[in-house]
Structure 1
Amino acid sequence: MNENLFTPFSTPTILNQPATIPIILFPTLLILTTKHPTNNRLATIQQNLTQFALKQMMMTHNAKGQAWSLMLMSLVTFIATTNLLGLLPYSFTPTTQLSMNLAMAIPLWAGTVVLGLRFKTKNSLAHLLPQGTPTPLIPMLVVIETISLLIQPMALAVRLTANITAGHLLMHLAGSVVLTLSTTSFSMALLTSMLLVLLTTLEIAVALIQAYVFTLLISLYLHNNT
């Protein structure tokens, strides 16, 4: 049993060195490439899911936005595989770290903003001041809209961190209850085990959905700026 509730979220070490980078790179080994046979079921499922997600995110984009398709698909695949691997026993989920999620969100958000300022300068600046605003409210609304713009990457990172962390905490609590009840009441332990299975299924769905939501919001920011 872990020492405390937040032990699973501490960064693991190998020979007293942080193992974050190998853990982040490990999911890339699970992605099938052209070197692997493409006529098996796993490859077919992977291709179908990739095409479906790509179609959903790129259907409203113009040529400038569609140039980001490879980056967006790489992002959703990376987050999804990282979240799913974090559900394995004795594993570590990098996306529970706010610093890592901010490192993904800020550059992508900044890239969409820069594109907007370069190609749609007037429209991008017009978003800071809604049409028909009374003159006395102009300075206040400009400040509010600027803050709401700057807070977008923080909202992306916090949403992903909170959802993944909350699910892991619930599973950890349920697992601790099962271990405790297994020595006192087998029937209650069995009932709690069923709850743990349901939580695990829900967390698998959350891992995939949060990867899609994170990437979809980046896609929406891109659509508004291209």
Structure 2
Amino acid sequence: MNLTLFDQFMSPQILGIPLTIMALLMPSIIFPTPNNRWLTNRLLTLQTRMINIYTKQLMLPMNKTGHKWSIILTSLMTMLLTINLLGLLPYTFTPTTQLSMNMGLAIPMWLATVLVGLRNQPTMSLGHLLPEGTPTPLVPALIIIETISLFIRPLALGVRLTANLTAGHLLIQLISTAMLTLLPTMTTLSILTTIILLLLMILELAVAMIQAYVFVLLLSLYLQENT
């Protein structure tokens, strides 16, 4: 059976059991659980501090109605960040390279923000479909365009996360293969390729963190429009 570079994005299985579930549960396993003690260790203090800072920055532009979403958005951010970073380790699987999983996260969250807006302030939510001051002949066309852009939002969320992570992993795979191939014959060029690979790994670490943040930030912006 011929293998391709894209086989690394297939969901791996052991004895017929998919490892996607284990990869999704890994963030909850590696993060320590806070307890009721007054004094905790340094790791728990740092973890709590970082979560508080992120939650505060995320909820700052929202009104009090949107603050109910703080736990959901912070948990989603933590899960995506951990999964993306763990996926850069050797012999691991990144569930966020699967479009089906990303769409499964994006569509329900986006739909929830739309339904919240239609329930709490239907006039304002529907008003986003038609900008103020639009000329009368352009009203039907603008309503269609804004409706299409509204329904494209979850697709853009899922495809953005999938494409960025998939492209990064493919580049790492291609450059590492080239490095090993050139090592016996052209050692100098192989060393230069290794330097490029190290720089690419630093870039991928930044991409893994930024994409998790962008995913949740866009959801918070959608929520802000509907609260």
TM-score where L is the length of structure 2: 0.94
1:202 matches 2:182: no
Superposed, 1:151-190 pairs within 5 Å as 151-190=152-191
Moved over 3 A (4+): 35-41
State the alpha-carbon separation in 2 of the partners of residues 207 and 46 from structure 1: 19
Aligned residues of 2:34 and 2:44 also touching (Cα < 8 A) = no
Match of 2:88 in 1: 87
CA offset at residue 99 of structure 1?
0.6
Question: Could you tell me which amino acid in structure 2 is paired with residue 29 of structure 1?
Answer: I
Q: Which residue of 1 aligns with 2:28?
A: 28
Q: Deviations over 1:95-130 (max 9, x none)?
A: 001110000001110111011111111111111111
Residue 209 to residue 36, structure 1, CA distance change in 2 (3 Å): farther
Aligned to 2:147: 146
By how many angstroms is 1:36 displaced?
9.9
Identity of counterpart residues, as a percentage? 54
Change (3 A) 1:101 1:40: same
Please give the secondary structure, in 2, of the residue aligned with 1:8: helix
User: Which residue is equivalent to 2:56?
Assistant: 55
Match of 1:3 in 2: 3
Q: Which amino acid aligns with 1:20?
A: T
Q: Bigger CA drift: 51-60 or 106-115?
A: 51-60
Provide, for residues 63-121 of structure 1, a one-character-per-residue CA deviation record: whole Å limited to 9, x for no partner: 21000000000000000000011001111100001110000001110111011111111
Query: Deviation of residue 49 (structure 1)?
Result: 2.0
CA contact (8 A) 2:107 2:154 kept: yes
Which residue identity does 1:195 align to in structure 2? I
| Aligned-residue CA RMSD (Å) | 1.7
Q: What does 1:95-114 align with in structure 2 at a 5 Å threshold?
A: 95-114=96-115
Residue identity in the other structure for 2:93: F
Partner Cα separation in structure 1 for residue 65 and residue 102 of structure 2: 25
Residue 137 of structure 1: aligned partner: 138
Question: Could you state the TM-score of these two structures normalised by the residue count of structure 1?
Answer: 0.94
